[in-house]
Amino acid sequence: MTAIDRSDEDASGDPGIDAALERVRTEPRAHWIAVLVVVPIGLVLARFHWFGLVVAGALVGFVSPTVRRGLAGALGFGVLVLVAFAVGLGESVWRVLEMTPAIYLTVASALGLPALGALFRGVV
């Protein structure tokens, strides 16, 4: 019997995933394309459930070259979510901002949950 050398394959058995991920993390154009793909996916997921914020942060962090840049991207995503939330409220945004205890939780969730998800980059 002969041994099969799988040293160039990752855990899923596909050698192209590591190369594609490395390309996304190192090449600026590929990185921006990946960000433009994962951000709308994250916005859709966050629209349906709060856990979508964590998943979106993980996606943004996953395509980032470092953990620090992943956290910065996740915070940027959180700001984008807050802007989308405010736009969705329309003219009633000022009444919502006056609900101080509830708005604190909204802002903390929009910024903190994607940052928590981005820490996944430190594991991968």
Distances (CA, A) of 55 to 3, 14, 33, 44, 46: 39, 23, 18, 11, 8
pLDDT number for residue 18: 82
Distance between CA 45 and CA 62 in Å, rounded?
16
Asked whether 58 and 41 are in contact (CB, 8 A), the reply is no
99-118 average pLDDT score: 92
- In the chain, how many domains are there? 1
Span 2-57, pLDDT tens digits:
555 444 444 555 678 888 888 888 898 999 999 999 999 999 999 999 999 999 99
For residue 72, being part of any structural domain is answered with: yes
Report if residue 8 sits inside a domain: no
Residue 101 in domain? yes
Q: What is the mean pLDDT of the chain?
A: 86
Q: pTM for the complete prediction?
A: 0.80
Domain extent for 80: 15-123
CA distance 43 to 56: 7
**Would 22 be classed as within a structural domain?**
yes
Amino acid in position 23: R
Is 4 a member of any domain? no
